[in-house]
Amino acid sequence: MDLYNKHIVLTGGTSGVGRQLVAQLARDNQLIVLGRDQTKLLALKNQHPTIITYQVDLENVKHVHQVAQSLAKDLPKVDVLINNAAVQFMPQIHEDTFVFATVEREINTNFTSVCALIHGLLPALGNSTPARIVNVNSALGLVPKTSSAVYCASKGALNIFSQSLRYQFENSAIRVQQAFLPLVDTDMTTGRGKNKMSAQSAATAIITGIEKSEKDIDIGAIRILRALLMFAPGVARRILKRS
């Protein structure tokens, strides 16, 4: 798929990898960006005047579904839906700093809102031939680490969900892709890890993978992780456990 003159819906476009996706896609496409922070959305639109923004809190799944249904009626089609937004909380469940309310926040933002957007936008996705659903995932969707257990679970669910959706849409013009990111230099990863991939490079790799129609867009160190999971899964689990 050539990402030119397409209608693209994107979540998480105000920071990190999502912001870089906006920078690289906005000039040649009609970009609709969904985000929670209206101030950040306005700043993004000032920088990229051609984009359309909607204030949506992905934790509120009912509202997400309503907005998706409204968009499906208003737009002639949606060529690409990029589910990029995610949140991650670090405390372990037995620690005093763990807040139970964050469980629902992570699951809704990282997984349930994805289901809501896909279902709500189906009529518009069905008007495009072909259409793409691109779910941005993580190494932690393949192998968990010790902290952020709920985040790991939400990304694991996204991985299995995406695979199942491929079966459901295999006789249609809708194709489901996943982009698996290594550790990327964003606000979410501040203070963690070394040798991080830049958000700009990650966004470029996602776009390249979409254009090449790769089912699983394995970016950077994810390719090494895949090899380890095949030939030395125990090593892969030990590395990610302490990441």
Residue-wise pLDDT tens digits, 160-175: 999 999 999 999 999 9
pLDDT, tens digit (0-9, with 9 covering 90-100), for 89-136: 999 999 999 999 999 999 999 999 999 999 999 999 999 999 999 999
Q: Quick check: 192 pLDDT over 90? A: no
Among 153-157, 186-190, 212-216, name the one with the lowest average pLDDT. Answer: 186-190
User: What is the value of pTM for the model shown?
Assistant: 0.95
Q: Quick check: 189 pLDDT over 80? A: no
The model's confidence at residue 193, banded by pLDDT at 50, 70 and 90, is low
Question: Residue 208: its pLDDT value, please?
Answer: 98
- Indicate the pairing of strand 131-138 with strand 30-35: unpaired
What residues contact residue 182 under an 8 Å CB cut-off, 6+ apart? 139, 196, 197, 219, 220, 221, 222, 225
Tell me the domains of the chain and their CATH numbers: 7-241 (3.40.50.720)
What residues contact residue 191 under an 8 Å CB cut-off, 6+ apart? none
What phi, psi does 71 have (nearest 5°)? Answer: -60, -40
Question: Residue 242: its pLDDT value, please?
Answer: 81
Give the H/E segment covering residue 43: helix 38-47
Question: Residue 243: its pLDDT value, please?
Answer: 75
φ/ψ region of 28 (left if φ > 0, alpha if ψ in -120 to 50, else beta) reads alpha
The CA distance from 54 to 1, in Å, is 26
pLDDT, tens digit (0-9, with 9 covering 90-100), for 142-152: 999 999 999 99
Q: What would the DSSP string read from start to end of 131-172?
A: EEEEEEEEGGGTS--SS-HHHHHHHHHHHHHHHHHHHHTTTS
Question: Residue 25: its pLDDT value, please?
Answer: 98
What is the average pLDDT value for the chain, to the nearest integer?
Answer: 95
Q: Quick check: 197 pLDDT over 70? A: yes
Question: Residue 196: its pLDDT value, please?
Answer: 84
